[in-house]
Amino acid sequence: AEEVGGEDKEVVKDYFNNSGFQRWKKIYGETDDVNRVQRDIRLGHAKTVENAIKMLTDEGQLRGVTVCDAGCGTGSLSIPLAKEGAIVSASDISAAMVAEAEKQAKEQLLGGKDDPSVAPVIPKFEVRDLESLDGKYHTVVCLDVLIHYPQSKADGMIAHLASLAEKRLILSFAPKTFYYDLLKRVGELFPGPSKATRAYLHSEADVERALRKVGWRITKRGLIATQFYFAKLVEAVPA
């Protein structure tokens, strides 16, 4: 099983350094050169980020709170968290993603703010797969990453992410309940060979079991659904 997982990871890394980087940079960006489906996914993902920030700030201000953003992509979450004053450690398996996130963080966080007392701390960026992250963080967040891995692999990833978190872990994943609906839509959208990587759906029960196995329990749940984007968002804490 480890072998298979390892293979998946190499494929995912290669994808997000090449065609996947181009595709997702566009979806996560603000330019107009997106098609209807990509625009819908952009909207759904923005809602996931917004809901995650809501979950995070619900419990109080983020100023000075350490946050690990595992699989940070282009920085969609890391940058707003830094604006809230969080001390962000952002990492991704893709060097292309990390470079883009760092570029955007500098543009968005350093531009025109000259009062040092309110200046956000620029996230610390690192090219790293989440399985090899270490250290301790108040909060660990991992958005839309598990979709690239089968449940057998996701179990270990969830356990590792929980081990890095002192107070809470926030995860998003594509829920299995939409499986057939999704398949149908994907079938309609990509009649020929699809350029996307394989997507794995996870049942909430499986994610919950993986968390419970390492002594964590789910405290908040949310569902984000647009036409072509589905994500379940959960917050967990040590039980």
Instruction: Write out the residues near ligand SAM by the rule CB under 6 A.
Output: 9, 12, 16, 24, 28, 70-73, 76-77, 92-94, 97, 129-131, 143-145, 148
What's the CA dihedral at 10, 11, 13, 17 to 10 degrees? 140
Residue with nearest beta carbon to ligand SAM = 73
CB of 95 to ligand SAM, least distance (A): 9
Based on CB atoms, which residue is closest to ligand SAM, 126 or 181? 126
CB of 170 to ligand SAM, least distance (A): 11
CB of 183 to ligand SAM, least distance (A): 19
Number of C-beta neighbours around residue 178 at 10 A: 17
CB of 16 to ligand SAM, least distance (A): 3
Structure-token pair, residue 213: 């196995």
Structure-token pair, residue 123: 């996230």
Instruction: Work out the angle at residue 16's Cα, subtended by the Cα atoms of residues 206 and 139, and round it to the nearest 5 degrees.
Output: 50
Beta-carbon contacts of 104 under 8 Å, excluding residues fewer than 6 positions away, are 74, 75, 79
> Could you tell me where the beta strands, DSSP code E, fall in the chain?
66-70, 87-92, 124-127, 137-142, 165-173, 216-225, 230-238
Based on CB atoms, which residue is closest to ligand SAM, 16 or 200? 16
> Which among 174, 162, 141 is positioned nearest to 66, based on CA atoms?
141
Based on CB atoms, which residue is closest to ligand SAM, 68 or 145? 145
CB of 206 to ligand SAM, least distance (A): 18
Based on CB atoms, which residue is closest to ligand SAM, 73 or 120? 73
Based on CB atoms, which residue is closest to ligand SAM, 177 or 197? 197
